[in-house]
């Protein structure tokens, strides 16, 4: 079987269940609500028109990009989970046996998952970014703040966020390949994204030397790829971020390393 045929089969798997649109709906609601809330808060504080707001106003310059980047700064867990489920669902539901019987070359199966993962990253990236930009632009416009939708920098930001979604799906495929148990993989993904990385990156603002390590974590690499995000803006660290393409290469490196680990361990085992 060719890579095209294997990819077509993989694509059919992803869209024959309701999971893909359920995750897309949750992504829209989560990213849209979070972006709208942050947009209203930041725009209200920056213009001094938010009732009860106090403290120095937030600079309006770059505010739109900061708000729009919520699509990746809080939404990256979705493409990561999608990539993980692409592999672990086959182990859990034991469909991988039939897959390997149809495509004995296991490397070809992984190649097909990567190819489809890129398409899913583009799809969910477009959905998440549309939710963030739509909700964010509406929030900014409500306070008379420039939405910057006519700026080339904004659309460059959108392109980098789209790339980030693709890379996060590939990282997820690597996680699913290395950790074949679906429950364990999901727990690891949620624990790392919701607890380990945020705590470590926050601690870097108070403990000297930690920033040299945390700046290369997956979420930090994603932030560097996208540019200015909520987390980097609120971070207490003063270190400079790597340039955007370095962040992208680091994130891709995580995907490749996890894939190699999985291919050399769990992917070669017998399935039943």
> Phi-psi bin for 94: left (phi > 0), alpha (psi -120 to 50), beta?
left
* Best CA proximity match to 31, nearest among 145, 161, 143, 153: 161
Q: Which residues contact 196 (CB under 8 A, 6 or more apart)?
A: none
**Domain edges within the chain:** 3-265
Residue 30: both structure tokens together: 């989560």
Contact 158, 129 (CB under 8 A): yes
For residues 129 and 160, give the distance between their C-alpha atoms in angstroms, rounded to a whole number: 11
Using one digit for the tens of pLDDT, what is the confidence trace for 198-225? 888 888 777 777 878 888 999 999 999 9
For residues 68 and 139, give the distance between their C-alpha atoms in angstroms, rounded to a whole number: 11
Using one digit for the tens of pLDDT, what is the confidence trace for 169-179? 999 999 999 99
Q: Which residues contact 236 (CB under 8 A, 6 or more apart)?
A: 202, 204, 205, 206
> Phi-psi bin for 147: left (phi > 0), alpha (psi -120 to 50), beta?
alpha
Using one digit for the tens of pLDDT, what is the confidence trace for 150-172? 999 999 999 999 999 999 999 99
* Best CA proximity match to 108, nearest among 255, 179, 6: 6
Using one digit for the tens of pLDDT, what is the confidence trace for 44-76? 887 776 665 555 556 677 889 999 999 999 999
Q: Provide the whole-model pTM.
A: 0.92
Residue 220: both structure tokens together: 């930090």
């Amino acid at each position: 079987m060719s890579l095209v045929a294997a990819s077509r089969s993989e694509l059919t798997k992803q869209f024959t269940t309701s999971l893909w649109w359920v995750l897309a709906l949750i992504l829209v609601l989560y990213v849209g609500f979070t972006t709208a809330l942050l947009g209203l808060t930041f725009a209200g504080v920056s213009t001094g028109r938010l009732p009860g707001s106090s403290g120095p106003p937030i600079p309006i310059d770059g505010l739109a990009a900061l708000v729009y980047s919520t699509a990746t700064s809080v939404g990256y867990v979705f493409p990561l989970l999608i990539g993980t489920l692409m592999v672990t669902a086959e182990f859990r539901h034991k469909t991988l046996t039939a897959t390997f019987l149809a495509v004995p070359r296991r490397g070809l199966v992984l190649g097909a998952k990567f190819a489809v993962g890129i398409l899913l990253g583009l799809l969910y990236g477009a959905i998440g970014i549309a939710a963030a930009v739509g909700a964010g632009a509406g929030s900014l416009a409500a306070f008379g703040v420039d939405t910057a939708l006519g700026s080339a920098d904004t659309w460059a930001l959108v392109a980098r966020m789209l790339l980030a979604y693709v890379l996060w799906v590939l990282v997820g495929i690597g996680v699913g390949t290395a950790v074949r148990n679906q429950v364990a993989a999901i727990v690891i993904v949620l624990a790392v994204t919701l607890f380990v990385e945020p705590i470590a990156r926050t601690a870097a603002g108070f403990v000297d030397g930690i920033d040299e390590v945390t700046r290369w974590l997956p979420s930090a690499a994603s932030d560097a790829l996208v540019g200015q995000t909520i987390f980097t803006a609120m971070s207490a660290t003063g270190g400079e971020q790597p340039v955007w393409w370095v962040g992208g290469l680091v994130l891709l490196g995580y995907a490749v390393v996890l894939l190699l680990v999985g291919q050399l361990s769990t992917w070669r085992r017998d399935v039943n």
